[in-house]
Structure 1
Amino acid sequence: MALLQLFITASIPVLKVLLITALGSYLALERVNILGEETRKNLNTVVFYVFSPALVVTNVAQTITYDGMIKLWFMPVNILITFIVGSVLGWILIQLARPPPHLRGLILGCCAAGNLGNLLLIIIPAVCKEKGSPFGAPDVCHTYGMAYASLSMATGAIYIWSYVYNIVRISSKRSTQDSPQSLKEPSESNQIEPQIKSKNCLVRMFQILNLKTIFAPSTIGAIVGFAIGVIPQIRKLMIGDGAPLRVIHGTTNLLGDGAIPALTLIIGGNLLKGLRGSGIQKSIVVGIIIVRYVFLPLTGILIIKGALKFGLVHSDPLYLFVLLIQYTLPPAMNIGTITQLFGAGENECSVILLWTYVFATASLTLWSAFFMWFGPRQV
């Protein structure tokens, strides 16, 4: 397949995302005022509680089976590796840039969590439909590709809401606790009571983690979707033309179809804040771009080549492409939702998302074209 054709094939889905994002930015302009700040917050709430969980449920339930889970076991591990490597690189960036305490969680989150759901659900079907796609028949490519993208989305949702949510939450609180007085009190307390009971330690640990947030709506949707897809008795009741409860799946699917365009429009509207600036250090934005678009993809190539060598993944070019592309995605859109929930680093997040998504247009296209060429040659 010619390199130019690969580049064109890879650019189409990225351009789709860019056009919807641009539309969101236009609708959020003050002179248009269709997607103003209050409207975006309300729409974001609907997406968070309704559209996104419905999207996760329907895609996971329809495409993931027990045999598929066994076959694709490496993907959740691969996504965990992206979070670990991104967190390590983010920690290094924090040591170099020395940002304010309330932004450290945001930086770690942007380095660790990629857009593992929405973008893949746009990119994979678009790549499969393209004439020069190296992944075989479009219908077969679409079926398997949606299974890979759905598992990626469900796993990413669990990791984001159990990890990124909590580090941003802890970081936002730390900004009010790092005063000289608050730093002095723990040392005095340690002198008075150097031993802490194990029970109190466990209580504090659960308070810090705030385990309730792990079960965010999208996470619950992923669990329900896995249950429907993996348990044959439930699957027969809900999935398929002759399923007795197919109307439930059809209704949920209809709701889920609104998640991607709505969330992309919201991001487009939020990016206007980035154009106005927030005083965030340029070195932080540049560092996150380098982490996500240079170091993470290079690390991903090494990891996937190693996984192939040791027989940890099956040699399906489309599967390898999805595993590799998970290392090249821009920061997760849900990070913007998380910062809005805590009101800490919201403007800075808008700047980061603006520039990372601007650079993603070129970076994701180039890496996608390279992975389309690279993947089949590893089989």
Structure 2
Amino acid sequence: MAFLDLFVVALMPVLKTLIITAIGLVLAFERVDILGASSRHHLNNLVFYVFTPALVASSLGETITASSIVKLWFMPVNILLTFAIGSALGWILVKITRAPRELHGLVISCCAAGNLGNLLLIIIPAVCEERNSPFGDPTTCSTNGKAYASLSMAIGAVYIWTYIYNIIRAYGTPRMNSSTDIMGSGFLDSCREALLSSHSLKYDQDEEAQIVFEEEEKPSELKRLRQNVKMWADKINLKMMFAPSTIATIVGIVIGVVSFLRKLIIVDNAPLHVIDSSADMLGDAAIPAMTLIVGANLLRGLKKSAIGGWVVIGVQVVRFVLLPLCGIGVITLARHFGWVGSDSLYHFVLLLQYALPSAMGIGTITQLFEVGESECSVIMLWNYSVASLALTLWTTYFMWILS
């Protein structure tokens, strides 16, 4: 297929996204104030707790089966690789640009975490519906594409609310910057006390008394170590990790894999098919609502300029040049070893995961810890502005090499 034809196919979903994003931006202006802070909060709750879980559960339930789930094993690995490679490149970026330490977590996170939900849910079905799409029947393509995008969003949410959540907190919270908080605030102090006490006993007491002391102290030190490890484990926000979209993913996969539940809920003549239809109807509202929120959140980036230009440029280079190039290498290798099957649409989704702009959830986390909020808005504004061109070009190229 001609490169120009593929470019038109890739451009259409991006233009749709830009139009809806622009509407969200306009609705957030003070003169309009339809999507003000309070309205965004309530709409975001609807998307987070209702629309997105409904979309994920219905999409996965309709498409995932016991046989197809085996084929998708590489997607969690692929997303993990995007986070790992992006984190490494982000760490190099903060060293080169000498960004303030409190912003290291933000910069690394913006390089590591892509928008694995909203944009894929818009781009994939839109590409499938285009007349010159290289992925075959539009209905089958759209159905499978929504399932791939939904699974991508759910896996991405788990990584964001475990890894990204904790890395922003680690750099943004002052007491987390010291080594004493890695294993608990009293861990090194307890070790130091133990060493000093044993050192003094070596010269002040005989060998028998020292042995008795060590036998008495070992259990208490072991108990203290267990307490500190438990404190460190408690820092991981398991509640955020099991977000509604993640729970919906589990529900959707269970319904799709268990044949009894599939016949009860999913198939056309199923007794409880109305549940699937209702979830599907609610899920249709997720994509436009999420995109409106993205546009409204970008308004703050127009008002702030509190971050160095080289940092902003560096994030764009990482996300739209270096990561996609790394992704081509990873997926080429995976295809060579037969790890990803033969579905070109699946390969396309895996490649696209490396070329997306930064996840909007990063902004939510910066608000939670009150660190780098204005800087995050600036990065996001430029990130999504550049994405309009970069994502179109990469989408075109990925379709070209797969067709």
TM-score normalized by the length of structure 2: 0.86
Residue 328 (str. 1) matches residue 355 (str. 2)? yes
The aligned residue for residue 55 of structure 2 is 55
Alpha-carbon shift at residue 292 of structure 1 (Å) = 0.6
- Which one has the largest radius of gyration? 2
> 1:142 corresponds to which letter in structure 2?
S
Matches within 5 A, 1:366-377: 366-376=393-403
1:297 equivalent in structure 2: 324
**For residues 228 and 268 of structure 1, do their structure 2 counterparts lie closer, same or farther at Cα, with a shift above 3 Å needed?**
same
Report how far residue 165 of structure 1 moved.
2.1
SS at match of 1:371: helix
CA 1:169–1:133 in 2, change beyond 3 Å: closer, same or farther? same
**Are residues 1:267 and 2:294 paired?**
yes
CA distance in 2, matches of 1:252, 1:315: 30
Q: Using a 3 Å threshold, how does the CA distance of structure 1 residues 274 and 232 change in structure 2: closer, same or farther? A: same
80-89 vs 188-197, which moves further: 188-197
Q: Which residue of 2 aligns with 1:239?
A: 266
> Can you list the C-alpha shifts for 1:47-68, whole angstroms capped at 9, x where unaligned?
2222222222222222211111
CA contact (8 A) 1:64 1:151 kept: no
| Counterpart code for 2:12 | I
Q: 1:355 aligned to 2:382?
A: yes
- For residue 305 of structure 1, report the CA deviation from its aligned partner: 1.0
Aligned position for 1:35: 35
Deviations 1:85-140 (A, max 9, x none): 11111121122233333322222221111111221111111111212212222223
Instruction: Say how many residue pairs are matched.
Output: 374
Identity of aligned residues (%): 56
Conserved? CA contact 1:128–1:142, under 8 Å: yes
Q: CA RMSD in A?
A: 2.4
Deviation, structure 1 residue 42 = 2.3
- Structure 2: distance between partners of 1:109 and 1:177: 17
Alignment partner of 1:153: what SS?
helix
Look up the SS of the partner of 1:209 in the other structure.
Answer: coil
Give the corresponding residue for 1:161: 161
Aligned match of 1:133: 133
Is 1:192 matched with 2:193? Answer: yes
Moved more, 114-123 or 240-249: 240-249
Q: Residues 169 and 44 from structure 1, CA distance in 2 versus in 1: closer, same or farther, beyond 3 angstroms? A: farther
Offset of residue 342 of structure 1: 2.9
Aligned position for 1:24: 24
Instruction: Check whether the contact 2:24–2:296 (CA below 8 A) recurs between aligned residues.
Output: yes
The aligned counterpart of 2:121 is: 121
Shift of residue 321 of structure 1?
A: 1.3
- Write out per-residue CA displacement over residues 183-214 of structure 1, whole angstroms, 9 at most, x where no aligned residue: x9987665335667431232122122233321
Residue of structure 1 equivalent to 2:212:
none
For each residue in 1:241-263, what CA deviation from the matched residue of structure 2 results, as whole angstroms up to 9, or x when unmatched? 22222222222222222222112
Give the unaligned 5+ runs of structure 2: 196-220
Are the equivalent residues in 2 in contact too, given 1:54–1:256 (CA < 8 A)? yes
- Matched residue of 2:68: which SS? helix
The match for 1:101 is 101
Where 2:254 maps in the other structure, the secondary structure is helix
Extract unaligned runs of 5+ from structure 1: none
Q: Distance in 1 between matches of 2:297 and 2:353?
A: 24
